[in-house]
């Protein structure tokens, strides 16, 4: 079956497909994972059966920053301090299966219900009624899902690179442009569901994997260069495991040597199973969507990236059909890792919107 990216975004957070996989007793051993550098000391809070590591700074309206794959709370390091300095209470967790939080065995413990319940429980643990949720990559799917599964906990939602999935009761977007990536059985989101193979490839050389992951520009994060590859190439099919095995890194690194080393050190301890189980967990817990609130009626913002060839900005077309209060921006000249590639521009957009829509409105 051939699926497009819009369908994948919908079903990765709705129904999805997944496989159980072998795993160690925990994916992270918090005592062996170091706290992120240049961030506040993490606090461990009880939520939904986890001891979740949370970095917190600032006072005011709460904003929860939610990372993607294979990231960590550290991925928001450039935003944490800036948003706190702008007068917001910022909470940034290592999520289920990641970093200092870790997680249980079994893909059935990584459904969208688990991921959103974790964040609702975080608010409970911190005595917060409602928050603004901002997510990137997989974290974007989680925060859009918060507005549908826990609407009573949401003041607003921000998707960085990640658009909200279209409700199943709406017709497709008319005249929707064809995306560059060609989704086949080798598409990364499908191969990540396989048991054991992704871990075997990604954990063989964690430093190489993280260098390949955190590149920008080059051949895969530049639309013009990406479009020149044949449609049956690993690049156009976004066959990440083949590209990692092949070993070629064509782009520039988005992290400094020291920043990259924190990711390497952490994933050498935890491995990748926890994050991969987010892909595998979609088959489980699908009944939660039967009572979901599909229209999103809180203030929302979408921030796309011009050269993101996975989460292409064109995938955000039609979001206004089910989000009446939506603001949209595209950051030019960058690929997928927006928080690190364009921290100043992203921070400016976040602070401006948050201030206009929440601080000024509440004053």
Active-site entry in 137, 284, 307, 308: 137
Cα–chain center distance at 221: 17
Strand intervals (E) in the chain: 43-47, 50-57, 61-66, 88-93, 131-136, 154-160, 215-216, 252-253, 300-305, 326-331
Reply yes or no on whether 46 is catalytic.
Answer: no
DSSP 249-266: --SEESS-HHHHHHHHHH
CA angle 86, 148, 189 (to 5 degrees): 90
Reply yes or no on whether 129 is catalytic.
Answer: no
> Residue with structure tokens 């940034």?
92
> Residue with structure tokens 């301090």?
81
- By C-alpha distance, which of 309, 325, 328, 306 is closest to 317? 328
CA 141, 87, 56, 117 torsion-angle sign: negative
337: Cβ–Cβ under 8 A, 6 or more apart, which residues?
214, 216, 254
d(CA 32, CA 184): 38
- The residues with which 136 forms a beta bridge, in sequence order, are 160
d(CA 188, CA 155): 33
d(CA 307, CA 333): 6
Strand intervals (E) in 74-228: 88-93, 131-136, 154-160, 215-216
Question: What does the DSSP 8-state code read for residue 98?
Answer: B
- By C-alpha distance, which of 72, 76, 71 is closest to 88? 76
User: What are the catalytic residues?
Assistant: 137, 336
């Amino acid at each position: 079956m051939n699926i497009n990216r819009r369908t994948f975004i919908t079903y990765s957070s709705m129904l999805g497909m997944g496989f159980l996989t072998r795993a160690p007793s925990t994916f992270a051993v918090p005592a062996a994972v170091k706290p992120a550098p240049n961030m506040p000391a993490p606090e461990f809070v009880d939520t939904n059966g986890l001891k979740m590591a949370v970095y917190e700074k600032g006072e005011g309206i709460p904003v929860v920053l939610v990372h993607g794959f294979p990231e960590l709370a550290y991925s928001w390091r450039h935003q944490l301090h800036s948003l706190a300095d702008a007068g917001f209470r910022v909470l940034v967790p290592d999520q289920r299966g990641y970093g200092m939080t870790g997680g249980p065995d079994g893909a059935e413990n990584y459904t969208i219900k688990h991921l959103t319940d974790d964040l609702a429980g975080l608010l409970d643990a911190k005595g917060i009624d409602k928050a603004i949720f901002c997510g990137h990559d997989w974290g974007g799917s989680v925060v859009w899902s918060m507005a549908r599964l826990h609407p009573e906990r949401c003041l607003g939602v921000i998707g960085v690179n990640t658009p909200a999935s279209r409700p199943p009761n709406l017709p497709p977007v008319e005249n929707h442009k064809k995306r560059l990536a060609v989704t086949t059985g080798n598409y990364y989101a499908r191969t990540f569901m396989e048991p054991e193979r992704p871990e075997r490839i990604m954990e063989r050389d964690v430093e190489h994997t993280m260098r390949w992951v955190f590149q920008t520009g080059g051949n895969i994060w530049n639309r013009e260069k990406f479009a020149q590859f044949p449609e049956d190439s690993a690049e156009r099919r976004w066959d990440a495991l083949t590209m990692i095995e092949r070993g070629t890194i064509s782009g520039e690194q988005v992290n400094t040597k020291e920043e990259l080393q924190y990711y390497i050190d952490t994933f050498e301890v935890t491995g990748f199973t926890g994050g991969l189980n987010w892909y595998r967990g979609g088959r489980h817990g699908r009944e939660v969507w039967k009572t979901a609130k599909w229209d999103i009626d809180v203030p929302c913002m979408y921030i796309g990236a011009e050269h993101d060839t996975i989460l292409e900005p064109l995938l955000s077309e039609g979001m206004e059909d089910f989000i009446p209060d939506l603001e949209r921006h595209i950051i030019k000249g960058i690929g997928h890792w927006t928080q690190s590639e364009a921290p100043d521009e992203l921070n400016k957009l976040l602070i401006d919107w948050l201030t206009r829509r929440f601080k000024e409105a509440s004053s």
